[in-house]
Chains A and B, each alone.
Chain A
Amino acid sequence: MSLLSPEILLVAVLNGVMVGALYALVAVGLTLIYGVLHIINFAHGALLTLALFAVYLAHSQLGLDPYLAAAPLAVLFFGLGYALQRWIITPASHGEDRNILLVTLGLAIIIQNLLLYLFRSDTRTIDLPYASDVVDLQITFVAMSRLIGLVGSLVVAALLWLFLTRTDTGRAVRAVAKERMGAALQGIDVDHIYAVTFGLGTACLAVAAALLIPNFYVNPRVGEAFVLIAFTIVVLGGMGSVPGALLGGLLIGVVESLGGLLLGESLGQLGIFLIFILVLMFRPQGLFGAKA
């Protein structure tokens, strides 16, 4: 089939990598929260939706460019995540895993439906003057904003890695992830570290939203599509592994892109869910071997 010439496949892989980098950024936040708190944050998709609305409103109400809005919104979302974990999730769930799952599900339902109530189900996009800028990569033209998305995601992942390895708070986060009791005995405030981690995971979403929005749309249900994708990436990369999430994100982006090319848009998604089910069933520690 001429449809599958090497150039077309290469372009599909390239597209997959660029989409996958943003998936990775969403999943890095999720896996960080899982790795440290050992909880599955079901509100991650809804928080991404909230972040997309925040970027949208910053642009439409304050005239703020999404890329400029990324930094202040990251700070704001860090605070939001910190507050949710410290003052809602922890007290409401009495330390039981399955309660945490339910409380974060409750948060997801509230956020998603309040947005639906306030903004209706209309889909919104924003027009940016540079939206049609492209870069010539010889084999294909690529939208500048998607390239920025790829680079931006990698930069955020690198910053996160530097934070976790080079700062005292980052070391405390890793200590709590490894051995909660031991960390507490060293004088680390575990509840504070949990909230910081949840804040960091949520801040990743603000940046992801800013990088996504030039090529994407906003509506109250947009985050739903990311939930299973992000979980798939987290599971694939090994629950709690940040480099794993990065690789997993790129891989899933490519699988989705190639699946869409070969099977069509809607069946292409199926590949992701099947990978998710198979990995959970047969290799719950993830493809890249981090311990489950």
Chain B
Amino acid sequence: MKIRDYTLIVAVAAALALVPLVVTSSTVLNFLVFTLLIALAAQGWNILGGYGGQFSFGHAAFFGTGAYATAILQTRYGVNAWAGFAIGIALGALVGWIIGFLTFRTGLKGSYFALVTLAFAEVLRVLANSFALTGGGAGVLIELDVRPENFQFASRAIFYWIALALVIVAMLISRRVETTRFGAQLAAVRENEAAAQALGVDPFWVKMHAITLSAGITAAAGAFYAQYFLFLDSGIAYGAWISVEALLAPIIGGLGTVFGPLLGALVLHGLGELAKYLGGAATGINLAVYGALLILAVAFLPNGVAGLLGRFRKPAPLPEARRAEG
């Protein structure tokens, strides 16, 4: 591991950490926290979808598991919120492992993989909506009790810093994926699975590793959602909205890049807010803008916004040239 590989991330982190010192509007902070939350879910998606080329349409399965686990452990079993947060991430990763095992074992790829992940998320949504454990249709409400040990803070700035810290950790993980042997193998599987296999890479376990890591990161976003909003239902936790957000941000920001998910989330939500401002009170117009951005990005920006800004950092260099260092 070289320090040089991480300097840009650290610089961006330091700059973003200063924002709450300048911005005090709670509306703006709220917007930024939510954007960071989407960026985090998207960082998770990007590990599997961006670096691994396996497009999931069902990352809600992991987001929702992280969120429900955190919420239920606190409300039903009296587990500490921070411990619940960690267990939520672990359970999300476990769900990723299981879905990966079932789908990759049977060789599902491309559009089939996308559809089957969507179906898994829907199964979880229907289950969460039907059982008492998850509060059924009424959802789960975490009791408001603002104390640091409860992972509840009066100040939005603290939530902002926590969300930022999580996003930065996810970026460091992404960067590490880029620079290790695992990342090289993942890129090889993405580019040509048969050729990778011929060179001795085991595509199944490489993808398993990727989906587990990916699910864990997205589950962290779900767990954070639970603590920030203190309310969940099946449509929020396992709804298609988060699966779509998690894939839109990296595709628009730059697939398989460290900064793509964050850039994408900022562009999407920035323009979405602008559309809401211009379009009046009715909902929907901001999401319609997301759809248009997705088509435009696919048509004109194969490397996303990160590719456009590629002057100061090369987009997604395939890591094959790097020596494995760990």
Contact = CB atoms under 8 A, between A and B. Distances in A.
Nearest to B99: A277
Contact of B127 (A93, A220, A270): A270
A109 B115 CA distance: 17
B294 A106 contact: yes
A102 B287 contact: no
B236 to A, nearest CB: 15
B55 to A, nearest CB: 6
Given A98-B111, A103-B298, A280-B108, A267 B119 contact: no
Given A98-B111, A110-B288, A274 B294 contact: no
A129 B130 CA distance: 37
B126 A282 contact: no
Contacts of A228: 118-119, 122
B112 interface: yes
Contacts of A220: 284
B172 interface: no
B292 to A, nearest CB: 6
A97 B114 CA distance: 12
A113 B103 contact: no
Contacts of A88: 295
Contacts of B298: 92-93, 99, 102-103, 106
Given A266-B129, A270-B126, A109 B119 contact: no
B299 interface: yes
Contacts of A106: 291-295, 298
- Dominant SS at the A interface? helix
Given A97-B111, A109-B288, A116-B283, A276 B299 contact: no
Given A109-B244, A109-B288, A277-B116, A266 B126 contact: yes
A76 interface: no
Given A224-B240, A280-B112, A109 B294 contact: yes
Contacts of B57: 105
B295 A277 contact: no
B251 interface: yes
Nearest to A276: B119
Interface in A273-292: 273-274, 276-277, 280-282, 284
Interface residues of A, number: 47
Interface string B46-70: 0000000001010000000000000
Given A113-B287, A273-B126, A281 B299 contact: no
A130 interface: no
Contacts of B292: 106, 110
Contact of A277 (B110, B123, B285): B123
A273 B240 contact: no
A231 interface: yes
B41 to A, nearest CB: 17
Contacts of B284: 113-118, 220
B102 interface: yes
A267 B130 contact: yes
Nearest to B112: A280
Contacts of A107: 291, 295
B269 to A, nearest CB: 15
Interface in A165-216: none
Contacts of A280: 106, 108, 112, 115-116, 119
Contact of B290 (A97, A109, A111, A266): A109
A117 B278 CA distance: 13
Given A40-B115, A117-B285, A269-B126, A105 B294 contact: yes
A228 B121 CA distance: 11
Given A103-B298, A117-B282, A120-B282, A281 B108 contact: yes
A282 B284 CA distance: 39
B61 to A, nearest CB: 12
A98 B55 contact: yes
B148 interface: no
Tell me which of B110, B115, B240 has the highest count of chain A C-beta atoms within 10 A of its own C-beta.
Answer: B115
Given A98-B55, A280-B116, A40 B111 contact: yes
Interface in B183-198: none
Contact of B295 (A92, A115, A224, A281): A92
Contact of A273 (B114, B122, B130, B287): B122
8 closest Cβ pairs, A-B complex: A109-B291, A116-B284, A117-B284, A110-B291, A106-B294, A92-B299, A106-B295, A113-B287
Given A115-B284, A117-B284, A273-B119, 5 more contacts: A98-B111, A109-B294, A266-B129, A277-B116, A281-B102
Interface of A: 39-40, 88, 91-94, 97-99, 101-103, 105-118, 120-121, 220, 224, 228, 231, 235, 264, 266-267, 269-270, 273-274, 276-277, 280-282, 284
Interface of B: 55, 57, 102-103, 106, 108, 110-112, 114-116, 118-120, 122-123, 126-127, 129-130, 240, 244, 251, 279, 282-288, 290-295, 298-299
